[in-house]
Amino acid sequence: EDQVTQSPEALRLQEGESSSLNCSYTVSGLRGLFWYRQDPGKGPEFLFTLYSAGEEKEKERLKATLTKKESFLHITAPKPEDSATYLCAVQGIFGSARQLTFGSGTQLTVLP
Amino acid sequence: DAGVIQSPRHEVTEMGQEVTLRCKPISGHDYLFWYRQTMMRGLELLIYFNNNVPIDDSGMPEDRFSAKMPNASFSTLKIQPSEPRDSAVYFCASSPGQREKLFFGSGTQLSVL
C-alpha cells in the first residue's frame, strides 16, 4: 500500500525566511509525485509533477526536488500570499492507474 | 474556461435524507474524479470515470454512496441515506489524460446533522 507522510504538520515563517517542506513516501513503483497548493475553502491547485529521482522543478519562489524516498518543497524568501496548505501525492505503477495517495499536508503561514 | 464547477457549495441536511452533489468537468477532459476530504483522513479518492465509464469505485465507502456520469459534461455523487459521519468536503476533479495533473473544483461542504 502506498503511503505518504508530510512534515511538519504546520510551519510559521516570517516573510523572507526560507524553509523546506518534506514529503516522505513509500510506493512499490513510482509513476509520479505531485505537489498541490490548497487555499482555505478551495480545491487543491496543481504546482508540480516529478517523475524520477534527481528531478527538480521551479516556479517563482518554489522549488521541488525528488529522491527515491522523499521530496522537498523549498520556499525561498516567502511572502504572505504563499500561506496555504501544501499537499504531496504519489501515483504508483501498481493498482489503479489513476490512483493518487495524498499526504495530510503542511499548513504554511507566512507572517508579514 | 470556468474550471470544474461543483454545486452546491454548502449542503446541510438531516440524517437519513438523500444528498446529491453535482459536478461539471472541464470540457475536453476524459477523466473525472470524486474525492472526499476530512481532517482525520485527508483526501481520499472515492471513484473515477474515464470517458463517462466508472473505472475504479473501490474507494466508495459503502452501498449508500453511488456516482453516475450520464454524459461528458455532468456527474453526480449521491448519498442515500446520509449519516453524520458522511460530513466532509467533497471535491470533483477532472484531467485531460492518464498522467496529467488534476483540476479540482471548489468543493461541496456537506454537513449531516
Helices (H), B28-100: none
Contact status of A25 with chain B (Cβ, < 8 Å)? no
Evaluate if residue A1 carries a pLDDT over 90: no
What is the structure's pLDDT at A44? 97
Contact status of A34 with chain B (Cβ, < 8 Å)? yes
What is the structure's pLDDT at A2? 85
B48, B101, B107: residue with CB nearest A34: B101
A46, A96, A103: residue with CB nearest B56: A96
The answer to whether the CB atoms of A43 and B95 lie below 8 A apart is no
A80: region left, alpha or beta (phi > 0 left; psi from -120 to 50 alpha): alpha
The answer to whether the CB atoms of B48 and A98 lie below 8 A apart is yes
Contact status of B45 with chain A (Cβ, < 8 Å)? yes
For residue A95, what pLDDT band results from cuts at 50, 70 and 90? low
Evaluate if residue A4 carries a pLDDT over 90: yes
A31, A46, A104: residue with CB nearest B102: A46
The answer to whether the CB atoms of A98 and B31 lie below 8 A apart is yes
- The helix (H) or strand (E) run that includes residue B49 is strand B42-50
Count CB atoms within 10 A of the CB of residue A105: 24
